[in-house]
Structure 1
Amino acid sequence: MEPTRLSGLNLNALVALDALLTERNVTRAAQRIGITQPAMSQSLGRLRELFDDPLLVRRGRAMVLTPRAEAMLLPLSDALLSVERALQLGMGFDAATSNRIFKIALTDLGVTMVLPSVLRVLGREAPGIRVQVEPLSGGRLSDKLSSGEVDLVIAVYLGSAHGLRREKLLDEDYICLVRRGHPMARRKRARIGDYENYGHVAYTPVGFVPRPMSRAVPGVASAAGIRVSVPYLLALPDVVRRTDLVATVPRSLLSAPIDLGGVAAVEAPLELPRVEHAQWWHPRFDSDPAHQWLRKQVRQALV
């Protein structure tokens, strides 16, 4: 695009372009900025003509970015964030009157054990603020934090954490779950060899065994030990109840509102490290008043 053709772009067009590149879907992009799907389709047509590039192309049942669109994604998001911050200079953040929606990525256990405490704090301080829970998945999570598509992640471990800020909130120990009647159920503590003897149900919300655990105890993550990996912590008791497999989970699972009937809890091997729960965000938002406020509320709710 020639420099003189910048006159064909206004801020609304840039916002639409950012939504299209981020969502990779016309309908979701329209919902993101509050316009109709036909209006977003028209915007995409004008942007394609202006940039002389299709921007989004169909691959199978999904839409993917062209190389040019991919190159624009983060710089455009940075530019719009800078504009937003410039317009908010001197305004600060008034939690008591804000109606902002914060997007927080959590595991299923986090939704039941962490989210209620956070919501109680937010309800007292900011009755108009809403929280949208996002799934904790490894794919594009770092990009989502960078773009502001996700404000905060509360998790045990992130594999794609390069360049992200991390603040420890609390820690706890692991326990092992086996079915009642399992040979291990009569013991007080599990041993590392049990994972290979009986098979390990690995809890993998981000696609793999947490690195601190696998570094400390390589056998936990060995191919011989892991029989199945499950991204849903609240489903593990049912898997254990019907097999001879051993699950290793944070102790807080015992307090979750789930059925643990027919399941016995055994202390985890002493070699396992403690579980550290942390909040993660992108450094772009270090000084953002609203983001600072959110992190403070999470800290107060959980520490």
Structure 2
Amino acid sequence: MSCSRVAHGFFTAWKDYGNPNAIILFLCQDNEPNIFDQRAVEYAIYDLDEHITVRRKTCWELIASIALSPDGKLFVDDEEVAIVYFRGLYTADDYTDEKFWDVRLKVEMSRAILCPSIGYQLAGCKKMQEVLAKPDVLERFIDDIDVVQKLRSTFAGFYELEMNSDGDNAVQMAITNPDLYVLKPQREGGGNNIYGEDIVTLLSEIGNDERRCAYILMEKICPKPLDNIFVTASGHQEVQAISELGTFGVILARGKDVIENYFAGHLLRSKSHEHNEGGIGSGLAVLDSPFLV
């Protein structure tokens, strides 16, 4: 379900752009490891309208082929771009050449529909999690106090590491009881969080200077492990597993005018409770299915 509903979001955005000859651009990483799920979305878009053109380009390819017209239209190889879908340029490691920043600037200055825009990308960073958890912040966006309280009841504890007394206290909390917390940098893609004694080591080095501001401290979530069986290419394994349920959503808006906003399926990942990280690509987790009781 998720693939078709996500594809429908792209289709609706492409129609809303208003040029039936404009393309959808998948901006991909070099040696893309996640090509298969991207292809699935691409083919689902074709199922909705076979006349849509999807192009896959790496940033290296875009350096010489991308252009921005005076009226803000984005072109790649002389084809107008309706949508840019970022499957690259979302981590610091992707910007391996200064010219990649020029590519990102042209994209952000264009009229193309961006998935995500720079604003939405920044809204999903770890620092925003910390800010949203502060008192009176959710109230700026949600008027219903009952809804605010229900949302806030689901939050883990977040603690800033700025150069102030609150930051100093958070550093001492983490060093004193490192197993109760996770230290998170402003990074995406998995494998970046810091746990246990590694927190003590890092904060003992940077805890008294501004380098600590690149991180946030979060209360560690400790779910109850459940019996599970992991099936992989090498066989099966009985494990005590913990799971993470992620949901997909589609939102298409023009300023404050919302055109589409709907649930688009889920993804459940499970890992052994022995592991801190749980990436599918790293082999530490598996795709799973929820069992509702």
TM-score (norm 2): 0.28
Give 1 or 2: higher helix fraction.
Answer: 1
- Higher RCO structure, 1 or 2 (CA under 8 Å, sep 6+): 1
TM-score (norm 1): 0.28
Give 1 or 2: higher strand fraction.
Answer: 2
